[in-house]
Amino acid sequence: MNDACTHIESLLPGFVEDGLGADDTLRVRAHLESCEACRASLVAFQTLEDSLLMRRAELPPVERFLPAFAAAPAPAYRRPVLMRAFRAVISVPGISILLAVWAGTLAFNFREPIGRALSFSTPNNLVGGIDRLADQMVFLTDGNVWLLLAALTMVSLFVAASMGAMTLRFVRH
Amino acid sequence: MPNLDSELVARSLRGDERAFRELLTRHHGVAYAVVRAILGDRDDVDDVMQVVYLKAYQGLKSFRGDAKFSTWLYQIARREAIDASRRRRRDVTDIEDVPLPADPADAADAPLRERDTREWLDRAMGEIEAHYRTAIELRYMAEKSYEEIAAIMDLPEGTVKTYVHRGKIELKRILSRPDWRARTAENQ
């Protein structure tokens, strides 16, 4: 093998991949026209290329190597019980603060009618006081039953959602 | 798609195991190609791969996103494979000592011939330099472009091309020995 053949052989891997520039491609083609040894080399490189292209089929599926936690179909990760309890409990102060702010704002805005209602709620006539409080609520909603129901529903939903969220936090995490 | 990788890493760190699985699936070829390049077709490749993925999971918090995830995984796989190689010294077999596979002309079915070809190629791959082998495995087993391999191996693209081409010249030299030549001639 002379120097020209050695140089051409160094280009043949790129030639087989169709990755040579135009000049080198022409140079290789011209040399191959007249060199039987390099044509045989080209066949060997093409055979090698075909064998290498089959290596992809040897890649085993990723599942074979995954740790058990990742191979399973999305097993839910559960924090330790103590951590779950802590995360659930820590949400209680937040919800309590929200409820307190909400109740305080309501009480401040409606302090006069609430005060009048409470003035009747002595131990002797507690039931009457509650009745009057109910009357005042009806008064506040201007006698609109639907508005009253909507307000009560909102409060109930808020409390239920808060309790539900706390429960879910504990169960899921 | 590095952005998708970043998103998958973030989701994995939040405990989304599906995201972690998808992340590994996307870069499985890289990890396996590197481990195979260093260890060859050995029995402990599976064990090393499992360790690689476990360490990737455990070390995900330390992945800062400066480099691509594929580069980070490549480094873990390379380190683990080299450690395994050191633990159990590689049983280097000279290509001349390898018994000839069954004569392809006598083989009754094509799959058998394909298996022989794979065995011969595996043996020859074991003979070439490790960095040539790694570049070739990333190119063909992981089906990465030269640009991607350059990023993964942290080398210039031209160097990666040189590795692959020189590796192929070495492989061709090994596989052109008389016994191999006679076999390929009968295959054609």
Query: Model ipTM?
Result: 0.76
Domain B95-187 belongs to what topology? Arc Repressor Mutant, subunit A (1.10.10)
Q: Where are the domains of chain B?
A: 2-87, 95-187
Question: Which residues of chain A are within 8 Å of residue B51 when distances are taken between CB atoms?
Answer: none
Question: Which residues of chain B are within 8 Å of residue A70 when distances are taken between CB atoms?
Answer: 17, 20-21, 24, 53, 57
Interchain pair A67, B28: CB under 8 A: no
The CATH-assigned architecture of domain B2-87 is Orthogonal Bundle (1.10)
Weakest-pLDDT range from A127-141, B18-32, B131-145 = A127-141
pLDDT number for residue A155: 72
Interchain pair B121, A55: CB under 8 A: yes
Q: Is the pLDDT of residue A170 over 70?
A: no
| Residue B111 burial by Cβ neighbours in a 10 Å radius (0-12, 13-18, 19+) | exposed
The contacts of residue B44 (CB under 8 Å, 6+ apart) are B84, B88
The answer, for A64 touching chain B at a CB cutoff of 8 Å, is yes
Structure confidence by residue, pLDDT tens digits, B83-128: 998 887 655 554 444 444 444 444 444 444 556 677 788 888 988 9
Find the distance separating the first CA and the last CA of chain A, reported in whole Å: 72
The answer, for A60 touching chain B at a CB cutoff of 8 Å, is yes
Q: Is the pLDDT of residue B20 over 70?
A: yes
Q: Is the pLDDT of residue B14 over 60?
A: yes
The answer, for A104 touching chain B at a CB cutoff of 8 Å, is no
Rounded Cα distance between A132 and A122, Å, is 12
pLDDT number for residue B37: 92
Residue % of chain B over a pLDDT of 70: 78
Weakest-pLDDT range from A89-98, B138-147, B178-187 = B178-187
Question: Which residues of chain B are within 8 Å of residue A48 when distances are taken between CB atoms?
Answer: 168, 171-172, 175
Interchain pair A13, B118: CB under 8 A: no
Interchain pair B25, A62: CB under 8 A: yes
pLDDT number for residue B150: 95
**DSSP 8-state assignment for residue B108:** S
The mean per-residue pLDDT over the stretch B145-158 comes to: 93
pLDDT number for residue B104: 43
Q: Which has more pLDDT, A83 or B146?
A: B146
Minimal CA separation from B163 to chain A, in Å? 11
H helix runs in A18-144, sequence order: 22-34, 36-53, 68-71, 81-109, 111-118, 126-140
The contacts of residue A44 (CB under 8 Å, 6+ apart) are B172, B175, B176, B184
